[in-house]
């Protein structure tokens, strides 16, 4: 079906699939990591807003 | 809602969070259709089955260039209007554009060996595409290694604008110089020079790659906004500790 140059075709599709899988893994794992750290900071009572009056 | 309203990170997150699963599903469906049509496409009369590499190579090349175009527009937003979401968009696009450019170069080499008899030649199209990858790596280095994120962002934005000069060089390199790479056969005067039996799956795959790019880009922008919130909160926490210790 893929002829005498099947190796080149299969290698192209395999490499593309690997790079796309790596990109998807990167965004998914990075999202989970950022959500986890944000959750930990919020649990410790840290806010993004500066406090308006000194304690 | 005015377009400018989207340029608020909180509103952006509110819109993107429900949109991403739908975009991911649409991308998967379009890839399934595109791959089915690509595998069923007839062999080329000269190149045989190796023409199937084109269904990956050409969309990857388009998106490698589109990614840099997007970064150049974002760079204007960073340098002229100093809008934080523009910087987020530029930074999020860089690794994705670099990955598509890498796919383009490697699949091009794998296509070139059986077609031209060589993996690589230093002709204008191949060299200008390699320069694009090196420019991407330069921008990533500026974003990832700068101690001051603001300075790194401005430097990356300047490089993004300067590097945009390379885009017309890539596009017209096959017309301006004598190259081993074939001339434009899709986006050209007089219409596409490819038979519909091959052009249709190519366009479906290009649509799938484009949807994938924007899905990944929006997801990476969301991550970058969260990363900046984490950084701000860590600074606030450090200041609180410093005040408590003083």
Cα A21 to the center of its chain, rounded Å: 10
Within-domain flag for B134: yes
Q: What is the pLDDT of residue B176?
A: 86
Question: What mean pLDDT comes out for the span A32-36?
Answer: 96
Residue B72 lies in a domain: yes
pLDDT at B1: 54
Cβ–Cβ of B48/A6 closer than 8 Å? no
Distances from the Cα of A24 to the Cα of A5, A13, A20, B11, angstroms: 29, 16, 6, 24
Q: Please count the structural domains in chain B.
A: 1
Residue B46 backbone dihedrals phi, psi, to 5 degrees: -105, -45
The string of pLDDT tens digits covering residues A5-27 is: 899 999 999 999 999 999 999 99
Residues for chain A: how many in total?
Answer: 55
Give the least confident one: B38-52, B82-96, B122-136: B38-52
Residue B20, domain member (yes or no): no
**Residues 9..48 of A with a Cβ closer than 8 Å to B: which?**
9, 11-13, 15-16, 19-20, 22-24, 26-28, 30-31, 34-35, 37-38, 41-42, 44, 46-48
Q: Which of B229, B194, B192, B231 is nearest to B13 (CA)?
A: B229
Q: Cβ–Cβ contacts within 10 Å for residue A18, how many?
A: 11
Q: Is the pLDDT of residue A52 over 70?
A: no
User: Do B54 and B199 form a contact (C-beta atoms < 8 A)?
Assistant: no
pLDDT at B38: 92
Q: Provide the token pair at B237.
A: 């926490």
- Give the N- to C-terminal CA distance of chain B in Å, as an integer: 48
CA B40 to chain centre: 28
**B243 is a domain residue:** no
Which whole number is the average pLDDT over B212-229?
Answer: 96
Whether B138 maps to a domain, the answer reads yes
Tokens of B56: 């990956």
pLDDT tier, A53 (very low <50, low <70, confident <90, very high otherwise): very low
Identify whether the C-beta of residue A24 lies closer than 8 Å to the C-beta of residue B71. Answer: no
Domain for residue B237, yes or no? no
What are the E-state strand segments in chain A?
A: none
User: From the candidates A18, A43, A46, which should be mutated to test the interface with B, based on the most B CB atoms within 10 A?
Assistant: A46
Question: Cα distance from A21 to chain B (closest Cα, Å)?
Answer: 11
Q: What are A44's two structure tokens?
A: 């410790």
ipTM: 0.90
Q: Answer yes or no: are the C-beta atoms of B50 and B115 closer than 8 Å.
A: yes
* Average pLDDT rounded to a whole number, residues B185-213: 86
Q: Do A12 and B107 touch (CB under 8 A)?
A: yes
Residue B187 belongs to some domain of the structure: no
Find all residues with CB under 8 Å of A39, minimum gap 6, and list them.
Answer: none
Residue B79 is predicted with a pLDDT of 93
- The answer to whether B99 contacts A19, with C-beta atoms less than 8 Å apart, is yes
pLDDT band (50, 70, 90) for residue A54: very low
B172 SS3 class: helix
Determine, yes or no, domain membership for B55. Answer: yes
Least confident segment among B132-141, B156-165, B172-181, B216-225: B172-181
Residue B119 is part of which domain span? 27-179+196-231
Q: What is the pLDDT of residues B143-167, one digit of tens each?
A: 998 888 888 999 999 999 999 999 9
Q: Compare all CA atoms of chain A with the CA of B115 and give the residue at the minimum distance.
A: A5
């Amino acid at each position: 079906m893929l002829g005498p140059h099947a190796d080149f075709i299969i290698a192209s599709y395999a490499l593309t699939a690997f790079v796309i899988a790596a990109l998807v893994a990167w965004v998914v794992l990075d999202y989970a990591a950022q959500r986890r750290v944000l959750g930990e900071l919020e649990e410790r009572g840290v806010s993004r807003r500066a406090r308006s009056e000194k304690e | 809602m005015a377009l400018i309203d989207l340029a608020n990170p909180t509103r952006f997150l509110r819109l993107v969070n429900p949109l991403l699963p739908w975009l991911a599903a649409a991308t998967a469906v379009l890839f399934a259709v595109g791959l089915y049509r690509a595998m069923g496409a007839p062999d080329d009369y000269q190149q045989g089955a190796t023409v199937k590499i084109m269904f990956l190579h050409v969309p990857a090349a388009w998106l490698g260039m589109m990614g840099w175009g997007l970064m150049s527009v974002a760079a204007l937003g960073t340098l002229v209007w100093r809008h934080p979401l523009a910087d987020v968009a530029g930074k999020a696009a860089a690794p994705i554009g670099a990955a598509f450019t890498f796919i383009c170069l490697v699949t091009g080499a794998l296509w070139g060996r059986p077609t031209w008899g060589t993996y690589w030649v230093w002709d204008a199209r191949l060299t200008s595409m390699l320069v694009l990858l090196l420019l991407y790596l330069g921008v990533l280095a500026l974003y990832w290694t700068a101690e001051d994120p603001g300075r790194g962002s401005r430097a990356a934005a300047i490089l993004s604008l300067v590097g945009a000069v390379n885009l017309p060089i890539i596009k017209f390199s096959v017309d301006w110089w004598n190259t081993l790479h074939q001339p434009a056969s899709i986006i050209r005067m007089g219409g596409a020079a490819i038979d519909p039996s091959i052009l249709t799956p190519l366009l479906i795959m290009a649509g799938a790659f484009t949807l994938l790019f924007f899905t990944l880009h929006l997801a990476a922008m969301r991550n970058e906004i969260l990363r900046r919130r984490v950084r701000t909160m860590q600074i606030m926490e450090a200041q609180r500790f410093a005040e408590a210790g003083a």
